Structure 1
Amino acid sequence: MKNDNDIAARMQRLFDLWGKFDRVYFKILHRWNLSYNSYLLLEELYHHPEGLEPAATADRLSIPRQTMTFVLDSLERDGHLERLPHPADRRRKLITLTPAGRRFGEEVVNTIFEKERAAMDALSPAEQEQLLEMYERLQRGFERSFLSETEHS
């Protein structure tokens, strides 16, 4: 029982840290009046200037499609993105940054990256790698426990 309590306490500590990370992101993004989902899409579009399909992007970013529509509408209304016809299938659309959206994306993405880089500088390269390896092991263990549960359902 003590081990279960230790694990629960450690997981709660991890969740608290995630929440603190989220609050910092929200504070940084507030200066541009961006939601976290808007930032995720803006960053994705910034790194894919050729354009992306909305549904596939929503799935990749784990944003519900209804929420993605709201985010697209908001960024389009602000002049940051445009919806274009898909070159191979007129039933589909591509989303891409406008020139103003590209400049905006560059400012936001580079600012966030500088904050993340500064945070990572608190750890040595070896500690950074160790952190990532441990986090990957934790994620794989969590996924395995979920998959084994669904196999028995």
Structure 2
Amino acid sequence: MNFNFHNDSIRGVLRSFGHEDAEVDNIETFVTFARLANGIFREMDTDLTKLGASQGRIIVLSLLHCHAPHRMTPSELAEKADVTRGTMTGLIDGLERDGMIERVAHESDGRMVTVGLKEAGRELLSKIVPYYTKLIRSCMSEFTPQDHKMMKGLLGKMKGGFERSLPKS
């Protein structure tokens, strides 16, 4: 995995269009963060594929595991996973086809279905959790408690700025 964090071309292009150094620093920091996140997720996706999983599938299985023994509706899953209902339908279809989850008619409204975790889904999660734990431990091994606190604060500021940039609905 090659991350070019010292990308002089970004700085050069921005300066050529008259951007101030502070703005260049903002963009360079953001691009560095985005490249790191993309690289991590790309590597994770490669590893998860080898285990027969994906980020989306793991999110669905994790949500169902955390809510067990209660079942969830597809719309509840979509909301909690922050994906569209169409995306969730595709994830549920694949997980059901692979025997990881099951759809059951809703207790009080037969027109609706609920989704529950099957043993195969629990088994997949039990293989994935150690992978995530090892990866995160490795990524964060150099952090002190103060680093964690500072990083959470900085990410909170970044999240707030991002949310303010979104159109008001």
Q: TM over 0.5: same fold?
A: yes
Is 1:103 the counterpart of 2:118 in the alignment?
no
Matching residue of 2:160: 140
Q: Aligned equivalents of 2:134 and 2:63: distance in 1?
A: 17
Offset of 1:16 from its aligned partner? 0.6
Matching residue of 1:58: 78
Higher helix share: 1
Matches within 5 A, 1:2-151: 2=20, 3-49=22-68, 50-146=70-166, 150=168
Q: How many residues get paired?
A: 149
Question: Secondary structure of 1:63's match?
Answer: coil
Q: Aligned equivalents of 1:77 and 1:125: distance in 2?
A: 43
Q: Aligned equivalents of 2:82 and 2:98: distance in 1?
A: 23
Mind listing any 5+ residue stretches in structure 2 that lack a counterpart? 1-18
Q: Relative to structure 1, is the Cα distance of residues 5 and 118 closer, same or farther in structure 2, using a 3 angstrom cutoff?
A: closer
In structure 1, what residue type is equivalent to 2:159?
Q
Deviation readout 1:103-148 (Å, 9 max, x if unpaired): 22222234323322332233112211211111011101221233xx
Q: Aligned equivalents of 1:96 and 1:110: distance in 2?
A: 23
User: Runs of 4 or more off by more than 3 Å in structure 1?
Assistant: none
Which protein has the larger Cα radius of gyration, Structure 1 or Structure 2?
Answer: 2
Question: Secondary structure of 1:96's match?
Answer: strand
Higher RCO structure, 1 or 2 (CA under 8 Å, sep 6+) = 1
Offset of 1:41 from its aligned partner? 1.0
Offset of 1:150 from its aligned partner? 3.0
Question: Secondary structure of 2:168's match?
Answer: helix
Moved more, 104-113 or 82-91: 104-113
Q: Aligned equivalents of 2:106 and 2:129: distance in 1?
A: 26
Moved more, 67-76 or 3-12: 3-12
Q: What TM-score does the superposition give when structure 1 sets the normalisation length? A: 0.85
Mind listing any 5+ residue stretches in structure 1 that lack a counterpart? none
Offset of 1:67 from its aligned partner? 1.7
Q: What TM-score does the superposition give when structure 2 sets the normalisation length? A: 0.78
In structure 1, what residue type is equivalent to 2:168?
T
Question: Secondary structure of 1:21's match?
Answer: helix
Judge conservation of contact 1:86–1:93 (CA < 8 Å) in 2. yes
Offset of 1:76 from its aligned partner? 0.8
